[in-house]
Amino acid sequence: MLIFVVSVGGNVRHYLILLKLYDFSWFGKMKEMYEARNSEFIYDAATWSVTPAMKEAYDSNGYILVRNMLTKAEVEKVKRAVDDDQGIQARAYSRDDGKSRRSRVSLWNHPGDDITGRLARMQRVAGTMEQLMGGDEVYHYHSKLMMKDAHTGGRHVWHQDYGYWYNNGCLYPDMASVFIPVDDCTRENSCLQVLRGSHRLGRIDHSRIGEQLGADPERVEQAQKVLEHIYVEMKAGDILFFHCNLLHTSDQNSSDNRRWVFIVAFNKRSNNPYKQHHHPQYTPMTKVADSALLQCDGSEPLGGKWFIKLQDDISIKDRVH
């Protein structure tokens, strides 16, 4: 009889190799339990679909992390697109973090048909998020490029995305975000941090901190006592899908390496905001095949994306800390 002892921090790829060699059904169940508990999965283009284990992990923990979801060629194509000073970066503005640092952000409301628009609308991104959110139709709420430059990038205080979006007339927290690193995200250059399962706390009151909204510090402090604090270190090519009520934060970037990420927010059609604001109400979104990203040649125009500026953001106005 063969017995395999695998630590919780073991390499998942080893699980797969052993499973193929010995085909132990219990080993497959063990792998599924590990993935669901840690909300961490590995992308396989040949077999990819949202499984019950993924949905369970998303519902229980508030997020799933999928490794290697973009190829190196896809990552390089996105990186070249956002590095263009005449394109998306030209529309950037900065936000004060309340601690004398600023991060730059470029934010737009419609995906468009350029490289970033196809990335947002591809089945691998929009389709996966739609299934994790229950399968009802979703639409593109907004996208943004978050730029924390080396030595200067500001922090993002503990918050829930719905802490902002609640103020925009979205009745339900039927919203979510897809976090796509352009650069590797490590603890040193301020990777995302989350409180596992904090989405189940419901919406927490938010108030203004610098030019951001922060969750009630007393509630955050108490939540940190009972929920696991996770540093979500990611490679460019990994993708994080997370619920709009998941508490998350990131530190200032004092390292030698920049930390740029592309974030796509989705809302359910059934959760159409009841009032007009600086993000779109329901707008039908056409998903594209996963191959569409590499078919871009980089010359696609940025027209129709509806870029916004800091002063347009009504969700943080008149909410003084």
> Are 18 and 62 in the same domain?
no
In a domain, 291, yes or no: yes
Q: At what angle do helices 25-38 and 52-61 cross, to 10 degrees?
A: 30
> Are 57 and 23 in the same domain?
no
Nearest-angstrom CA–CA distance, 272 and 99: 35
In a domain, 178, yes or no: yes
> Are 10 and 83 in the same domain?
no
> Are 30 and 77 in the same domain?
no
Amino acid code (one letter) for 79: K
In a domain, 65, yes or no: yes
> Are 26 and 110 in the same domain?
no
Question: Residue 15 is encoded by which pair of tokens?
Answer: 């699980």
> Are 154 and 10 in the same domain?
no
Quick one: residue 317, left, alpha or beta (phi over 0 = left, psi -120 to 50 = alpha)? Answer: beta
Number of domains in the chain: 2
In a domain, 321, yes or no: no
Indicate which CATH number applies to the domain containing 184.
2.60.120.620
In a domain, 78, yes or no: yes
For residue 237, give every residue at least 6 positions away whose Cβ sits within 8 Å of its Cβ, in sequence order, or none.
67, 68, 69, 70, 71, 72, 74, 75, 181
> Are 166 and 67 in the same domain?
yes
By residue range, what is the domain housing residue 14? 1-38
> Are 34 and 183 in the same domain?
no
**pLDDT value of residue 219:** 97
> Are 58 and 12 in the same domain?
no
Task: Give the tens place of pLDDT for each residue, 105-139.
Answer: 999 999 999 999 999 999 999 999 999 999 999 99
The pTM of this model reads: 0.88
Q: Got the DSSP string for 278-317?
A: SS-S------B-TTHHHH--S----TT--EE-GGG-GGGT
For the chain, what is the total number of helices (H) and then of strands (E)? 9, 15
Is the distance from CB of 288 to CB of 122 less than 8 angstroms? yes
> Are 137 and 23 in the same domain?
no
User: One digit per residue, pLDDT tens: the chain, 321 residues?
Assistant: 444 444 444 454 444 554 455 555 654 555 666 666 789 999 999 999 999 999 999 999 999 999 999 999 999 999 999 998 788 988 998 877 777 788 899 999 999 999 999 999 999 999 999 999 999 999 999 999 999 999 999 999 999 999 999 999 999 999 999 999 999 999 999 999 999 999 999 999 999 987 889 999 999 999 999 999 999 999 999 999 999 999 999 999 999 999 999 999 999 999 999 999 999 999 999 999 999 999 998 889 898 999 997 777 666 554 432
